[in-house]
Amino acid sequence: MPLQTRVSNLLGIEHPILLAPMDIVASGKLASAVSQAGGLGLIGGGYGDADWLEREFAAAGNGRVGCGFITWSLEKRPELLDLALAHSPVAVMLSFGDPSPFAPRIKGAGSKLVCQIQSFAQAGMAVSAGADILVAQGTEAGGHGLTRSTLTLVPEVVDGFPDVPVVAAGGIADGRGLAAVMMLGAEGVLMGTRFYASQEAQAHPAAKQRVVDATGDDTARSIVFDISRQNLWPEPYTGRVLRNAHAERWVGRETELRKSIGEEAERYREARERGDFDIAAVIAGESAGLIHDLPTAGEIVNRVVRQAEALLRGR
């Protein structure tokens, strides 16, 4: 039972599996590996580093990849979109903000506009902007998001906007997740944490191992790591990370942390540089509890597809 959907047809891919454009972690190497396995790799444009972005598109070679941006951050450096579009990405994913100022340029360049949303209202905004694909992200996901769960957000968006295919994100790390969200009406998945724990991910080996060792209980949503790295997000977004000593010290004491930020920000920066993840955050979602190894990205794609096909055939 080939898993051909509107998403795979729109993007010209074999399997409806997308790499979440995780800031820095979703490198050109990782994006290329996911695309070579039949999915679509999205390079993490993140907060916007032009040199890094150029380097990672080069690292992806001639692979069919896309990229993703944090929308409110892209508003500060809109020239980065032109840089990305110069590489003819298959798709550009926008998350966390109004996509309408950028939609015409993306679609005019021949790329598909993928909009990640965290609420039904945001889905309506994205559809009005011309989104080709919606990514419905549940609160189980690693990194930033809101409060809706994948289980209810996906079918609500599917029912509300039947003309736009929906990809599910949040809490998905294997074929069971893909099969489950397809039963909810989704036509693909976007995975971050599962690909974070892969050979090609541009992450510290110790951080990857923490994902492998964690359970879903070991994650929490807060703004402690944003305060610590002096990169505050607009409300009401919070970020899901693995719990560590730094988080346990400051969760619930965010006002005190802000008052101590001069000292704590330097401590946090040094910890990131030396790979001390008792202080620095590992950005991962609840699906960490489903991850027990560090395979290649290609093996992840193949496993997910095989398991989902078997489950859907059995049902």
> Which residues, 6+ apart, have CB-to-CB distance to 32 below 8 Å?
41, 59, 60, 61, 63, 65
Domain boundaries, the chain: 6-202+291-314, 205-286
> Cα(258)–Cα(121) distance, rounded to whole angstroms?
32
Interval 42-64: pLDDT, tens: 999 988 889 999 999 999 997 89
Interval 83-122: pLDDT, tens: 999 999 999 999 999 999 999 999 999 999 999 999 999 9
Q: What confidence category does residue 2 fall into, taking pLDDT thresholds of 50, 70 and 90?
A: low
| 20 compared with 62, residue with greater pLDDT | 20
Paired residues of 189 in beta bridges: 17, 168
Q: pTM, whole model, 2 decimals? A: 0.95
What is the average pLDDT value for the chain, to the nearest integer?
Answer: 96
Q: Which two tokens stand for residue 237?
A: 């977004």
Q: Which fold has domain 6-202+291-314?
A: TIM Barrel (3.20.20)
Contact (Cβ atoms closer than 8 angstroms) between residue 7 and residue 188: yes
Q: What confidence category does residue 314 fall into, taking pLDDT thresholds of 50, 70 and 90?
A: confident
Interval 126-182: pLDDT, tens: 999 999 999 999 999 999 999 999 999 999 999 999 999 999 999 999 999 999 999
The identity of residue 247, as a single letter, is A
* Residue 21 pLDDT greater than 80, yes or no: yes
> Cα(152)–Cα(13) distance, rounded to whole angstroms?
27
> Cα(231)–Cα(261) distance, rounded to whole angstroms?
12
Angle, helices 150-160/120-129, rounded to nearest 10 degrees: 40
